[in-house]
């Protein structure tokens, strides 16, 4: 079961799929949907984010039935969500979200960055 969470960095929200414990502390595997610059599309992204960069929205009650795992010592070996159909980042502690080459995430007000859809009637 996924649990809605706020991220303290863009894109700002997602769904917690699992908790992982590592020598550096707890991490959350979060599924996010990001809007892309120069493309009228979105991309589903999953990443491991430090627990201190996540918070539960006040409208979410309870803690859900979120899986807990022990993470390998090397973060490159951290597993992605089972059968994840899209982009998996791995560990993402800070900085820009690593997206596939040529893609860039929309930041700021989305309506300002939305491509024009042709002339208005």
23: pLDDT strictly greater than 90: yes
- pLDDT of the residue at 2: 81
40: enclosing H helix or E strand: none
Confirm if 106 and 34 have CB atoms less than 8 A apart: yes
> Comparing 17 with 65, which gets the higher pLDDT?
17
Q: What is the pLDDT of residues 52-80, one digit of tens each?
A: 999 988 777 666 688 999 999 999 999 99
pTM of the model: 0.83
- Token pair, residue 44, equals 């589903």
CA separation (Å) from 118 to 28, 42, 115, 121?
41, 20, 9, 10
- pLDDT of the residue at 27: 97
- pLDDT of the residue at 113: 47
- pLDDT of the residue at 56: 85
Q: Please count the residues of the chain.
A: 121
């Amino acid at each position: 079961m996924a649990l809605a969470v706020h991220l303290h960095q863009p894109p700002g929200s997602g769904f917690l799929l699992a908790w992982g414990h590592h020598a550096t502390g707890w991490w959350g595997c979060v599924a996010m949907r990001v809007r892309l610059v120069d493309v009228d599309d979105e991309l589903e992204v999953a990443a491991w984010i430090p627990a201190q960069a996540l918070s539960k929205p006040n409208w979410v009650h309870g803690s859900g039935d979120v899986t807990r795992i022990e993470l390998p010592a090397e973060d490159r070996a951290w597993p992605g969500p089972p059968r994840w159909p899209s982009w998996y980042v791995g560990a993402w502690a800070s900085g820009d979200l690593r997206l596939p080459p040529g893609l860039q995430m929309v930041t700021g007000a989305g309506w300002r960055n939305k491509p024009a859809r042709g002339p208005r009637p």
